[in-house]
Amino acid sequence: MKNILIENNFRFKEQVVFPKICIADFFLPEYKLAIFCDGEYWHNYPIGKRRDKEQVEKLNKIGIKAIRLWGKQIKEKDPIKYLEQFLK
């Protein structure tokens, strides 16, 4: 995902801590967008799904949009097309 962001000229920060909420894999400050790159194994368990949903809800409450991308989405699809809908 990092290479995809670089190739598309996005300014971003890595491993951004949102205190008492989570650590985002990437954060695009210009868009107030947190990006999570989730592995299919751990994030597919019920506890992982619940935690991920809570993190997104908490970020939304503080004005941060959040998207979660599965590893498969990043590797096999064009994540930029998905990402673009959050850049408005």
Residue 34: phi and psi, rounded to 5, are -100, 135
Q: Which pLDDT belongs to residue 20?
A: 96
For residue 13, what pLDDT band results from cuts at 50, 70 and 90?
very high
Q: Which pLDDT belongs to residue 40?
A: 65
Q: Which pLDDT belongs to residue 29?
A: 97
CATH numeric code, 2-84: 3.40.960.10
Q: Which pLDDT belongs to residue 41?
A: 58
pLDDT in tens, 47-86: 668 899 999 999 999 999 999 887 777 766 777 877 887 7
**71 token code pair:** 């590893």
Q: Which pLDDT belongs to residue 82?
A: 77
Three-state SS annotation for 53-82: HHHHHHHHHCCCEEEEEEHHHHHHCCHHHH
pLDDT in tens, 18-45: 999 999 999 999 999 999 998 765 556 6
